[in-house]
Amino acid sequence: MSFPVLSAILLAPVAGLLILLFIPEREELTIKIVSALATLVSLVLSVAIYFLYDSSQGGLQFCEEISWLPEWGIKYSLGVDGISLPLVLLTALVGFTAVFASWDIQRRVKEFFIFLLMLVAGIFGVFMTRDLFFFYLFFDMAVIPSYLLIIIWGSTRKEYGAMKLTLYHVVGSAFLLVAIIATAIYGAKALGYFTFDLYSLSQVNFDVGFQKIVFFLMLIGFGVLVPMWPLHLWAPDGHVAAPTAISMLLAGVIMKLGGYGLIRVALWFFPEAAHYWAPFIALLSLVNVIYGAMVAMVQRDLKFVIGYSSVSHMGYVLLGVAALNTLSLDGAVAQMFAHGVMTALFFALVGNVYQRTHTRELARLGGLAHQMPRVAAGFLLAGLASLGLPGLNNFVAEFLIFLGAFGREDLMLGGSLAFRTVAILAISGIVITAVYVLRIVKNVFFGPPLPEWEGLSDVRGVEMVPIVVLGFTLIFFGLLPSLQINMIDASVAPIVAKIKAAKAIGGIF
């Protein structure tokens, strides 16, 4: 591709960022417009390459490469394939709508959008890069902006929430960096030259003992972000503390970094270890789903509910990863996209509710559909997507994950009963999700109108952008899933082939 489109997508927010530096603090509207334009450029380009991507040919396309650090084999190399392209589109979508969701920020608008654009650029980088060094560089670039965004513009217990989130991410990325270093050095010994390039490192066959340790380190590193069960506690506290736009990005996209990393790096490099750790991940994913959904049910704060719901939904992605077959991995990637869009929509709407009622306690909220029918409709749409209603994107993704986990080819009939029972229990999650989602809709939006919320105004004009854009995406990919799944399947196939080729050593238990 002559025109470096991927760099354009990555650098559009950075360009916006630099322009903002020179706009005086007072011009709040121009600041918002510039940010919106920056993210719009990325969105338009992402949509363009999404449809220009030729899924029959599969593999990495739109590649760019600049040699960055020859001795260490580090190259600024970008490229997207079936797995990363949907996530790039997701980042563009959520980034764009996040700008609109924070249209009502009053305090220190300029700094807010500078850090926001920095965050978005970082996430773009992770999904596009083909080089482990830049993968980690962009991966960790989100730490400072998200911390600053939360402590300055956050809400309840923002100091605690921000610090907790940052420390979880930093500790997680510490484990990840050690794993990356070990891999790079093992690769250097095996290949003869020092490189961080993903593709060449994936050709190295690491010995099994090494794989098990490094896979586990990566599992912790990525697990923190997914969020995997015992490491998930940053999610609820982080989301409650974060302002709307940041919760959208955190739950919508940053959680996907973990899932993407697991598939792109961990599974691709260490197939034997994947087999070894698969049952362990499956069990944790089950806890993620059931535990996350149950706890979401009893929460008293609206944002906590959605925070825990993200934990539950990302549990499906983990299940998809643990099942290690084409169907479930396709489903996992699709679920990451679908869940990203859905959670971003949820948080945008909760933002709207909070911005009007200044409270998120379920006890005090009720009958808001009377005052805010559009928000109610949007919330219902997002809720239905989250419980996996057919016709919306999540259903197809979850269906593939369940089918993959339930009917693993190698586990056809005689397959290990343990894995299938885990799959069945995980699938029962859809019932619990239905319970807590509809309970929220019932308590918050339906029921008699409360005098306390009498004069509330509904969303109009600019605030509708997130609902329209994200809602449309959910329905569009819900009705035409082949546009998404064909592309993903083409790129998942090589990874699954490699996993199948690796002799299935016994699982951890």
Partner 1 sequence: MANLYWIPKAWLIPLLPALAFPFIAFITRKARGLSALTAILAIGVSLVISLGVLWEVIAHGITMDNPVEYSTVWLQIPQLLKIEAGLLIDPLSAVMLLVVTLVAFLVEIYSIGYMEDDPGFSVFFAYLSLFGASMLGLVLANNYFMIYFFWELVGLCSYLLIGFWYHRAEAARAGFKAFVVNRLADFGFLLGFFFLFIIFHTFNFRELAAAIPAYHNVGLLTVAALLVFTGPIGKSAQFPLHVWLPDAMEGPTPVSALIHAATMVAAGVYLLARAYVLFASLPNVMLVVAYVGGFTAIFAATIAIAQRDIKRILAYSTISQLGYMVMAMGVGSMTAGIFHLTTHAFFKALLFLAAGSVIHALHEQDIFRMGGLYKDMKVTTVTFIIGALALAGIPPFAGFWSKDEILAAAYHNGFLGLYILGTLVAFLTAFYMFRLIFITFFGERRAGLHGHESPPVMTIPLGILALLSIFAGFVGTPFTARGFSTFVYYAAPHEVEPDYMVMALSTLVALAGIALAWWLYGRPSDLPERLKESYRWAYNLLWNKFYIDEFYLWIYRRIFWGLAEAFHWHDRHVVDGLWDGVGDVTRASGQKLRYLQTGNLQTYALVFFTAVVVIALWMAGMGGMIR
Partner 2 sequence: MVNFGLLYMEIATAALGLMLLAWGLLVPKRERQGIAYLTAAGLLALLALAWCTRGAAGTVLPGYTIDLYSIYFKSLFLTAAFLATICSFDYVAKMGFNQGEYYALLVFATLGMMVLATSGELITLYLGLELMAITFYILVAYRLDDPKSAEAGIKYLLLGALSSAILLYGFSLIYGTCGSTVLREIGKRISSGQADFALLLGLIFVIAGFSFKVTAVPFHMWAPDVYEGAPTPITAFLSVGSKAAAFAALIRILFLGFDNQAFLWLPLVTVLSVLSMVLGNLVAIPQKNVKRLLAYSSVAQGGYLLLGIVSASLLGIGAILYYAMIYVFANMGAFMAATAFYNNDRSDEIKDYAGLARRAPLVAAVMLFSVASLAGIPPLAGFPGKLYLFSSVVARDYSYLWLALLGLLMSAVSVYYYLQIVKAMYTGNPAPQKGALQVSRGMEVAMLLVLGILFFLGIYPTPLTNYAFKAGETLFMP
Contact set with partner 1 (CB under 8 A):
167, 230, 233, 291, 294-295, 297-299, 326-327, 330, 367, 369-370, 384, 387, 389-391, 395-396, 399-400, 402-403, 406-407, 409, 412-413, 424, 427-428, 430-431, 434-435, 438-439, 441-442, 445-449, 481-482, 485-486, 489
DSSP, residue by residue, 77-142: EEEE-TTHHHHHHHHHHHHHHHHHHTTT--TTHHHHHHHHHHHHHHHHHHHHB-BHHHHHHHHHHT
Q: Of 380, 374, 343, 339, which is closest to residue 356 (Cα–Cα)?
A: 374
Instruction: Provide the CA 320 distance to its chain's centre, in angstroms.
Output: 15
Q: Of 241, 260, 253, 207, which is closest to residue 83 (Cα–Cα)?
A: 260
Would you state the structure tokens that stand for residue 174, as one six-digit string? 């510490």
Site for partner 2 contains 181 (CB under 8 A): yes
Residue 59's binding partner out of partner 1, partner 2, none, with CB under 5 to 8 Å set by partner kind? none
Which one of 47, 48, 52, 185 is in contact with partner 2 (CB under 8 A)?
185
We find the least distance from the C-beta atom of residue 377 to partner 1, in angstroms, to be 9
Letter for the amino acid at 5?
A: V
Alpha carbons 5 and 9: distance in angstroms, whole number? 6
We find the least distance from the C-beta atom of residue 172 to partner 1, in angstroms, to be 12
Stretch that binds partner 2, among 38-46, 183-191, 354-362, 383-391 (CB under 8 A): 183-191
Alpha carbons 321 and 328: distance in angstroms, whole number? 7
Site for partner 2 contains 170 (CB under 8 A): yes
We find the least distance from the C-beta atom of residue 186 to partner 1, in angstroms, to be 30
Site for partner 2 contains 21 (CB under 8 A): no
Site for partner 2 contains 70 (CB under 8 A): yes
We find the least distance from the C-beta atom of residue 52 to partner 2, in angstroms, to be 29
Query: Which residue(s) pair with 78 in the sheet?
Result: 64, 129
Q: Of 252, 271, 242, 234, which is closest to residue 91 (Cα–Cα)?
A: 252
37-70 CB burial, b ≥16 within 10 A, e <16: ebbbbbbebbeebbeebebeebebbbebeeeeee
We find the least distance from the C-beta atom of residue 366 to partner 1, in angstroms, to be 9
Considering the complex, state which of residue 246 and residue 432 has its C-beta at the smaller distance from partner 2: 246
Site for partner 2 contains 131 (CB under 8 A): no
Considering the complex, state which of residue 285 and residue 326 has its C-beta at the smaller distance from partner 1: 326
Of 214-273, which residues contact partner 2 (CB under 8 A)?
217
Measured between alpha carbons, how far apart are the two ends of the chain, in Å?
48
Stretch that binds partner 2, among 45-53, 84-92, 181-189, 243-251 (CB under 8 A): 181-189
Considering the complex, state which of residue 249 and residue 263 has its C-beta at the smaller distance from partner 1: 263
Considering the complex, state which of residue 220 and residue 492 has its C-beta at the smaller distance from partner 2: 220
Q: Of 304, 504, 463, 327, which is closest to residue 399 (Cα–Cα)?
A: 327
We find the least distance from the C-beta atom of residue 493 to partner 1, in angstroms, to be 9
What CA dihedral angle connects 91, 95, 101 and 103, to 10 degrees?
Answer: 180
We find the least distance from the C-beta atom of residue 45 to partner 2, in angstroms, to be 22
Residue 185's binding partner out of partner 2, partner 1, none, with CB under 5 to 8 Å set by partner kind? partner 2
Stretch that binds partner 2, among 29-37, 129-137, 425-433, 434-442 (CB under 8 A): 129-137
Q: Of 335, 177, 351, which is closest to residue 256 (Cα–Cα)?
A: 335
Alpha carbons 337 and 317: distance in angstroms, whole number? 10
Binding residues with partner 2: total (CB under 8 A): 35
Burial (0-12, 13-18, 19+ Cβ within 10 Å), 504: middle
Alpha carbons 391 and 453: distance in angstroms, whole number? 33
Which one of 174, 294, 380, 434 is in contact with partner 2 (CB under 8 A)?
174
Contact 107, 89 (CB under 8 A): no
Instruction: Provide the CA 31 distance to its chain's centre, in angstroms.
Output: 27
Considering the complex, state which of residue 14 and residue 338 has its C-beta at the smaller distance from partner 2: 14
Count of positions (residues) in the chain: 509
Considering the complex, state which of residue 1 and residue 185 has its C-beta at the smaller distance from partner 2: 185
Considering the complex, state which of residue 141 and residue 375 has its C-beta at the smaller distance from partner 2: 141
Residue 421's binding partner out of partner 1, partner 2, none, with CB under 5 to 8 Å set by partner kind? none
Site string for partner 2, 315-334 (x = CB under 8 A): --------------------
The binding site for partner 2 (CB under 8 A) comprises 68-72, 133, 136-138, 140-141, 143-144, 147-148, 151-152, 159, 163, 166-167, 170-171, 174-175, 177-178, 181-182, 184-185, 188, 210, 213, 217
